[in-house]
Amino acid sequence: MILATGATGTVGSTVIDALSGSDDRVRVATRDVEAARAELPGVDDYVTFDFAHPETWGPTLAGVDRLFLVRPPVVGVDPIREFVDAAARVGVGHVVYLSVLGAEKNPLLPHRRIERRIESSGVRHTFLRASFFMQNLVENHRRDIVEHDEVFVPAGAGETSFVDARDVGAAAALALTEPGHAGRAYDLTGPEALTYSEVADVFTEVLGRRITYADPSLLAFARRMRSRGTPLPFVVVMLGIYTTARLGLAGRVTRDVETVIGREPIDLREFVADHAGSFRR
């Protein structure tokens, strides 16, 4: 049995989709079973689960031998590490953990602290260290593109090696179902690193109307996000992500997607074309 946490999220939903053709039984762990059942029909099992409520962990882990683990942004490190320990105690044999690109270089990063607990647990593991998801352009920045014809992020002239979450989900599904991935850490990026000015050019070409890159200050970005009701902790997370790009630390490109899934990663032009309807006025 494969247990998927974060199954209704950006990457988790693509993992479920990628596993749909496998012979393995899949269980979705979620705080809202009915909503998950509606969003992800056809899954073998759904179970009520919350990292903040350890009493839900036992039924969630019963019969599980493989785990896709995602840390929700609002959950601290300690509950995740304790859940890893619980998974090890009940005999989960392989954890595939969604981490972030460069986690191994920053021991204070929450993702790296969780990686270290997984490493010390004795459970076989695979780390998927993903770059910035293209889907964030839809989920967090669609409004600016639709209403103002602009990409409004404070990333300066820095490059980002955008990755499509569908490729990450495909890699996770293979790591969960194929041999040869235990003990590996994959740095998952798209095929190229782009500045946000180049991102705007891609949108212009695909959508057929001029999209510009606003390059706001950190303060202007924070003010706009807060004016829309974006929670302050999430604004802080975004400021950190875009500052990383601004400093030139988000542009590393690897071939790991191709190594794992056996094809070229999706590029930004294909992503925008696939989601063009979301950006139409």
Where do the domains of the chain lie, and which CATH numbers do they carry?
2-130 (3.40.50.720), 136-159+191-251+267-279 (3.90.25.10)
- How do residues 116-156 score in pLDDT, each as one tens digit? 999 999 999 999 999 999 999 999 999 999 999 999 999 99
154, 240 in Cβ contact below 8 A?
no
Given a cut of 90, whether residue 73 has pLDDT beyond it is no
Given a cut of 90, whether residue 281 has pLDDT beyond it is no
Beta strands, E only, 139-193:
150-151, 159-160, 184-188
- How do residues 74-131 score in pLDDT, each as one tens digit? 899 999 999 999 999 999 999 999 999 999 998 889 999 999 999 999 999 999 999 9
Q: What percent of the chain has pLDDT over 90?
A: 94
| Helix or strand (DSSP H, E) at 127 | strand 124-130
Answering whether pTM is above 0.85, one says yes
- Give whole-number Cα distances, 253 to 19, 36, 130, 161, in Å: 26, 34, 11, 6
Given a cut of 90, whether residue 8 has pLDDT beyond it is yes
**pLDDT at position 22:** 85
- How do residues 206-258 score in pLDDT, each as one tens digit? 999 999 999 999 999 999 999 999 999 889 989 999 999 999 999 999 999 99
Quick one: CA torsion of 168, 173, 178, 184, rounded to 10 degrees?
A: 40
Given a cut of 90, whether residue 188 has pLDDT beyond it is yes
**DSSP result, 32-51:** -HHHHHHHSTT-SEEEE--T
